Amino acid sequence: MSRTRKTYSADFKAKLVLEVLEGEKTINEITSAYEIIPNNLKNWKKQFLENMSLAFDKSTKYEYSTFRYN
C-alpha cells in the first residue's frame, strides 16, 4: 500500500515561515497546530531565507499574490 504525498501551497508555506520568523511560537508549536512535520517547516524556512533577496531582484518576474497574512 503506497502513501500519497501531501502537497502544500506556496501561500501556506509562506504563512507558516512568517509565523516562525515572528518568534511568538516555536517551530514545534506551529507544526503541532497545523499537523505537519517539523523538518518540513525547517526546510521551508531555510529555503525562504536563502531566496528572500529574489523579492527585490528587478530581473525576476513575479506575480503579486492575493495572499494576505493576518
Domain limits, the chain = 10-52
Amino acid in position 52: M
8 A C-beta contact, residue 27 and residue 21: no
* 48 exposure class (CB count in 10 Å sphere: 0-12, 13-18, 19+): middle
Q: What is the pLDDT of residue 49?
A: 94
Output the pLDDT for position 60: 63
* pLDDT in 10s for each residue of the chain, 70 residues: 678 888 999 999 999 999 999 999 999 999 999 999 999 999 999 999 998 888 888 776 656 555 555 4
The CA distance from 67 to 12, in Å, is: 9
**Predicted local confidence at residue 67, as pLDDT:** 52
Question: What pLDDT is stored for residue 40 in this prediction?
Answer: 95
- Picking from 35, 66, 25, the residue whose alpha carbon sits closest to that of residue 17 is 25
